[in-house]
Amino acid sequence: MRDKISSVTAIKYGESFLSESAVFQGGAGNKYLPISFIIYLIKTDSHTILVDAGCDTMPAFEMKNYYRPVDVLAKHGISAEEI
């Protein structure tokens, strides 16, 4: 018997801005686009699965409103051991 997915939750753990040129070929270097950093929590009948363990640095941007993914999960009542 296969597990059924009971929920999929998108959880934001940070945000930033990237220049359009960092996102699109030929994009403007002086135009910035907002980006959100998201992890996904999938719950099935018997498992809790984390998709995209996240990142905290990248050379092209400065992370704003950053929360460690493990801390954001704890706010949702999920411990690392449950994943």
The predicted-structure confidence for 37-79, as pLDDT tens digits, reads as follows 899 999 998 899 999 866 656 666 678 888 888 899 999 888 8
Tell me how far apart the alpha carbons of residues 23 and 33 are, in angstroms, rounded to a whole number: 9
- For residue 57, the model assigns a pLDDT of 61
Q: Which two tokens stand for residue 49?
A: 């699965």
- For residue 35, the model assigns a pLDDT of 87
- For residue 30, the model assigns a pLDDT of 92
Q: What is the largest CA-CA distance in the chain?
A: 54
Name which residue leads in pLDDT, 55 or 30.
30
